[in-house]
Structure 1
Amino acid sequence: MMNAVITSATINCNSLSPSWTCGDNSPSKLLLGEISAALSRRRTVKVSCGKSSPDDYHSTLKSLNSRGRFPRKSLGQHYMLNSDINDQLASAADVKEGDFVLEIGPGTGSLTNVLINLGATVLAIEKDPHMVDLVSERFAGSDKFKVLQEDFVKCHIRSHMLSILETRRLSHPDSALAKVVSNLPFNISTDVVKLLLPMGDIFSKVVLLLQDEAALRLVEPALRTSEYRPINILINFYSEPEYNFRVPRENFFPQPKVDAAVVTFKLKHPRDYPDVSSTKNFFSLVNSAFNGKRKMLRKSLQHISSSPDIEKALGVAGLPATVSNLSHVLYEVLGSSSLHENLSSF
């Protein structure tokens, strides 16, 4: 997700690129109207925070203007209007001197700037080639920044990170695991969570800015509710999640239709994962158990084991043979992995 602060000092027709001229019927007139509205909203937002980040937002917007850039809805791009949120993201991850941080979607680099100023080395993954050029130019003089032009959900992030961490450990044998700090485009948040959380051997913390409703579904739902899904089991299997704070939609430009929230996932090391005979088989069972509304579990799992064995395993797990996929008691059993253990014993 891109980040920038737009101030009244930057809204000057003479400073805009030719593609953003100020004619009565030009797109830029609408743009300036949106910026003015965003500024008005921004003044009313109160967020408790610490010291503001010393970010040069004037030059950031000037760079965007020089390229005629505007947020792309298809990429989920929004500018952050409140620089203090970036400070809070870095604080939630406890970023400090010597850390290695992965950032997904650096945009204009305002969060990147905070991370580098704290002494971290940053690897950024950016899909938009225009933003790659922008941040490459902005941090050209820094040896603590590298950006890769890739689609994060399709790139081989494990290979990238293992190569980087192995090189770092040659010169810093005691270097810690890496961290992830990112303002994510909302449309890829679930994919990113699924990709990152099983990497407890690479990352210690994953701090993300997500859509608020999604954050609540991922982190807060209690067991035995209809909101519980396979993704919740995956999250609790691989991490200890925490909902940090809500970020009102007024903090973004253009303003999204929903609020955002910052969530921290403290990743478990692989040695601390729940004791199951096969992680792959466990999640296969979980996904099968949630497929088919109202379908009896013994039918959903027939491809895993025979009906008598499934019924016996259900009995050992304390479930009736007729339990359905949507039974509330099933969520707790799956979350504790006891059904998988019982099935594996037959």
Structure 2
Amino acid sequence: MRIADKTVTRAVLERHGFTFKKSFGQNFLTDTNILQKIVDTADIDRHVNVIEIGPGIGALTEFLAENAAEVMAFEIDDRLIPILADTLGRFDNVTVVNQDILKTDLQMQIQNFKNPDLPIKVVANLPYYITTPILMHLIESKIPFSEFVVMMQREVADRISAEPNTKAYGSLSIAVQYYMIAKVAFIVPSTVFVPAPNVDSAILKMVRREQPLVQVQDEDYLFRVSKAAFVHRRKTLWNNLTSHFGKSEEIKEKLEKALELADIQPSIRGEALSIPDFGRLADSLKEMEL
């Protein structure tokens, strides 16, 4: 019997007197077919180390441990540590770290893998309330994760993988796709969780690009400009840029020159710009010392 089997999950929770904490966004997956599909999507084998975030009672960890070289699972909730020791005790290739993934020294932690030189993949059912900060923290870290296969709220997955000229496309799409190729692998209905969340989830697969999608003078500046372009989605790029940089005649003149240099019409909306467009725009604005 698998940990994710509903009767096993229920028995584990009762045995340990565990109650769900909303503040940790805990929803435990109870569908073994979906867990197998996650592992297949991530293409996990004995030549891969895995980082998992929020293992819960170990439902996904069990599948990962059976396939990966090693699994390092980060769990913030102290109450789950003895439960994980109980459910995963038979595995000698699983390490549970009782730390917040946003505060741990990940560079140091991965040196604890028996073979830290193996490719590292992130496979996780991410807490909804903190999905974006965790993802951006990991993507922007200096650790060369080869791939992410992560479950999140369907709406967030759609935003991350969105193309230009769609409602979902925005600064989050740009921030992730600058580094990663992102695709929704499959949808996970809310009914397969305990407790059931209010929305469906999606498995998002992200593969790191060999090089960022565009070469820019300043990455942080690129992301700042892209955020500014989406502050008021229904406004033109020009209106958003003047709201962000200012409306003095000097600034307007610089903005006009920057847009001309980047070959971008001021009357379009941010959602019409591709990431290479934003790259040219950011470099042009930087040249104008804005």
TM score, norm. by length of structure 2: 0.85
User: How many Å separate the matches in 2 of 1:184 and 1:117?
Assistant: 21
Q: Alpha-carbon deviation of 1:317?
A: 2.0
The answer to whether the aligner puts 1:217 opposite 2:170 as a matched pair is: no
**After superposition, what is the alpha-carbon deviation per residue over 1:206-239, rounded to whole angstroms, capped at 9, x for unaligned?**
00111122212221x3312343221110111010
CA contact (8 A) 2:50 2:68 kept: no
Aligned pairs for 1:172-187 within 5 A: 175-187=117-129
The answer to whether the aligner puts 1:190 opposite 2:132 as a matched pair is: yes
Cα 1:327–1:290 shift into 2, 3 Å? closer
1:261 to 172, 193, 202: 202
Q: Which residue of 1 aligns with 2:219?
A: 279
Cα 1:315–1:145 shift into 2, 3 Å? same
What amino acid is the match of 2:203? Answer: V
2:115 to 164, 168, 172: 168
Q: Alpha-carbon deviation of 1:280?
A: 1.8
Cα 1:288–1:334 shift into 2, 3 Å? farther
Q: Tell which deviates more after alignment, 279-288 or 231-240.
A: 279-288
What amino acid is the match of 2:260? Answer: G
CA contact (8 A) 2:50 2:121 kept: yes
Q: Structure 1 unaligned runs (5+)?
A: 8-57, 170-174
1:243 to 176, 184, 194: 184
Q: Alpha-carbon deviation of 1:272?
A: 4.1
User: How many Å separate the matches in 2 of 1:62 and 1:223?
Assistant: 47
CA contact (8 A) 1:109 1:135 kept: yes
Cα 1:76–1:334 shift into 2, 3 Å? same
**After superposition, what is the alpha-carbon deviation per residue over 1:99-118, rounded to whole angstroms, capped at 9, x for unaligned?**
11000011111211111111
**After superposition, what is the alpha-carbon deviation per residue over 1:22-41, rounded to whole angstroms, capped at 9, x for unaligned?**
xxxxxxxxxxxxxxxxxxxx
**After superposition, what is the alpha-carbon deviation per residue over 1:71-93, rounded to whole angstroms, capped at 9, x for unaligned?**
22221112212111111111111
Cα 1:153–1:248 shift into 2, 3 Å? same
Cα RMSD (Å): 2.6
SS at match of 2:6: coil
Q: Alpha-carbon deviation of 1:312?
A: 0.8
1:153 to 92, 99, 102: 102
Cα 1:313–1:154 shift into 2, 3 Å? same
SS at match of 1:168: coil
Q: Structure 2 unaligned runs (5+)?
A: none
2:57 to 86, 97, 108: 108
**After superposition, what is the alpha-carbon deviation per residue over 1:231-255, rounded to whole angstroms, capped at 9, x for unaligned?**
1101110100011111111111222
CA contact (8 A) 2:229 2:270 kept: no
Q: Alpha-carbon deviation of 1:328?
A: 4.1
Q: Which residue of 2 aligns with 1:300?
A: 244
CA contact (8 A) 1:5 1:80 kept: no
Q: Alpha-carbon deviation of 1:62?
A: 3.4
Cα 1:202–1:268 shift into 2, 3 Å? same
Q: Which residue of 1 aligns with 2:92?
A: 143
The alignment covers a number of residue pairs equal to: 280
SS at match of 2:102: coil
Q: Alpha-carbon deviation of 1:301?
A: 3.0
What amino acid is the match of 1:316? Answer: L
Q: Which residue of 1 aligns with 2:20?
A: 71
CA contact (8 A) 1:101 1:123 kept: yes
CA contact (8 A) 2:214 2:275 kept: no
User: How many Å separate the matches in 1 of 2:155 and 2:243?
Assistant: 33
Q: Which residue of 1 aligns with 2:144?
A: 202
User: How many Å separate the matches in 1 of 2:75 and 2:31?
Assistant: 21
The answer to whether the aligner puts 1:290 opposite 2:230 as a matched pair is: yes
**After superposition, what is the alpha-carbon deviation per residue over 1:178-199, rounded to whole angstroms, capped at 9, x for unaligned?**
0011112221211222122234
User: How many Å separate the matches in 1 of 2:169 and 2:53?
Assistant: 27
2:80 to 131, 147, 169: 131
Q: Which residue of 2 aligns with 1:6?
A: 6
Q: Alpha-carbon deviation of 1:284?
A: 2.2
CA contact (8 A) 2:27 2:194 kept: yes
